[in-house]
Amino acid sequence: MKVYISATLRSFFDRNGEIQIEKNTIKEILDTLTSEYPEAKKGLYDENGEIRDFIRIFVNNEDRTDKKYHRDLLDERSDVLFLPVIAGGAPEESIISDDRRKAIKLDEQEIDRFNKHLLLREIGVKGQKRIKAARVVVVGAGALGSPVIQYLAAAGVGTIKVVDFDSVEIGNLQSQVIHGTRDVKRPKAASARDTIRNINRNIEVIAENIRIDADNVGSVIDGFDLVIDCTDNYKARYLLSDACTLLGIPLIFGAIYQYEGQVSVLGYKGGPCLRCLYPAPPPAGLVPTCAEGGAISPLPGIIGSIQANEALKLIIGIGEHLTGKLLTIDSLGLRTNILNIKRNEKCPVCGNDPSITSFIDFDYEEFCGLKEDENEIPVEGLTPDELASRIESGEPITIIDVREPHERAIRKFPNAVAIPIGQLARRQKELNPEIDTVFICKEGKRSILAINTLREAGYKGAIYNLKGGFDAMKDIIFSNEGGGL
């Protein structure tokens, strides 16, 4: 049978996305995979030998992650999918009440502007009034937020709140099509606000240049009809899911990585939340983020457009939607799946006996592995300037690059030795413990995981992390002509 490996896990499987295995059970498949690809064991299993919480195993679109299914005989034509977090049914009614809809008027200009909607029997005047009455929060004005925000504005959503703490960079323009060259160095929220106003000046736009956290998320989303998750980090994703679930606001989840994307509607009418789908995020640095692994530029347009489409269906009250389902898209292989997901009765947020009743008191830093363990030896770091100074002085130093091959192909770090994280334990003899070793990755996160991995393997030499990673140092390296770098 065919076993499909999602892109974020392929580094543990020699970059293979599809593997043919002649086995009859999930257990046999797992045993074979970890035997043929020893590095996969670290990616698939936690320290207790259990499948990691951020990974789901689907057989013919049905979730079979639970060990009780692992010895069941599978049909030889079955498709098995290993899917990590990156990031149906029909509604009975719109999320916009009839009273709010009836209070809305459409003027002649709006009738002309939205005539294509008005011609659709499922939308018509009543549906367009609901769209105008809707209040939607879009968290993230980057790659996913770009199509979501623009299509909501074009559709005539009455109030759009855009939340993003970041500023536009030149490298954003490949995929973040809501921004232009003139917006570089401007806050993304402000740039998105101007684009919305250019599309439709009748829309009420609220731009908030803030980072979502447990202290402010309630005030950011409370009183709105719908929240759309266009973020790019696990902390924000779980925080938004928890907050929306506890406040009773539907959440449209979207995530991308390289050529793959996921979309779901979470926490709507008793449907599952993000923790039901993925009980926990991956340990920090174990799998690369979209920022580290990249994404083909049309992919966020595809996924974001589907998110906007799901939003409009919920607002209008039409069609089938992705509650209880996860849509996955592989744009490289032109493969799509709609996977069935269920609410976990033991979920700490939306289960029958929830243990998390307030997002304010929950420690998301610790949950996402962003807080240092008090019992763990702190990872010492070097700033880009400090590393540059040591290199220029000719001081003996070993630089280990743990970036992916395609990242190194863009720009190599001079005189660095490339060793994947999964190979560090068995290749530690290549390092000289008498010489300081500096680990680098793209943003300085995976390199911390590499250092801890090497320590666990018993390495005793001095090891350092390059703070901010290659991105923080590339201007020093490539602007210092003739300077020894």
In this prediction, residue 192 carries a pLDDT of 96
Domains present along the chain, CATH in parentheses: 2-84 (3.10.20.30), 134-367 (3.40.50.720), 381-479 (3.40.250.10)
CA distance 86 to 237: 10
**Helices and strands, counts by H and E, the chain:** 19, 18
In this prediction, residue 2 carries a pLDDT of 83
Lowest mean per-residue pLDDT among 5-9, 145-149, 385-389:
5-9
- Is pLDDT above 60 for 480? no
For the four alpha carbons of 257, 135, 243 and 190, in that order, the dihedral sign comes to: positive
Between 88 and 419, the more confident residue is 419
In this prediction, residue 243 carries a pLDDT of 94
In this prediction, residue 4 carries a pLDDT of 84
Between 51 and 303, the more confident residue is 303
pLDDT band for 414, please (50, 70, 90 cuts): confident
Q: Which residues contact 311 (CB under 8 A, 6 or more apart)?
A: 136, 148, 152, 157, 226, 228, 252
Q: What is the residue-averaged pLDDT of the chain?
A: 87
In this prediction, residue 292 carries a pLDDT of 59
Candidate list 230, 244, 347, 441, residue with the active-site label: 441
For the four alpha carbons of 203, 208, 213 and 215, in that order, the dihedral sign comes to: negative
pLDDT band for 180, please (50, 70, 90 cuts): very high
Lowest mean per-residue pLDDT among 139-148, 346-355, 366-375, 376-385:
366-375
Across-strand partners of 418?
401
pTM above 0.95, yes or no: no
For the four alpha carbons of 28, 31, 35 and 38, in that order, the dihedral sign comes to: positive
- Is pLDDT above 50 for 88? no
Chain segment 367-403, per-residue pLDDT in tens: 555 444 444 456 788 899 999 889 888 899 999 998 8
Chain segment 196-228, per-residue pLDDT in tens: 999 999 999 999 999 999 999 999 999 999 999
Q: Is residue 347 annotated as part of the catalytic site, yes or no?
A: no
pLDDT band for 43, please (50, 70, 90 cuts): confident
Closest among 419, 423, 410 to 437, alpha carbons compared? 419
What single-letter DSSP state applies at residue 342?
-
In this prediction, residue 364 carries a pLDDT of 61
- Is pLDDT above 50 for 89? no
Q: Is residue 290 annotated as part of the catalytic site, yes or no?
A: yes
Candidate list 244, 273, 276, 290, residue with the active-site label: 290
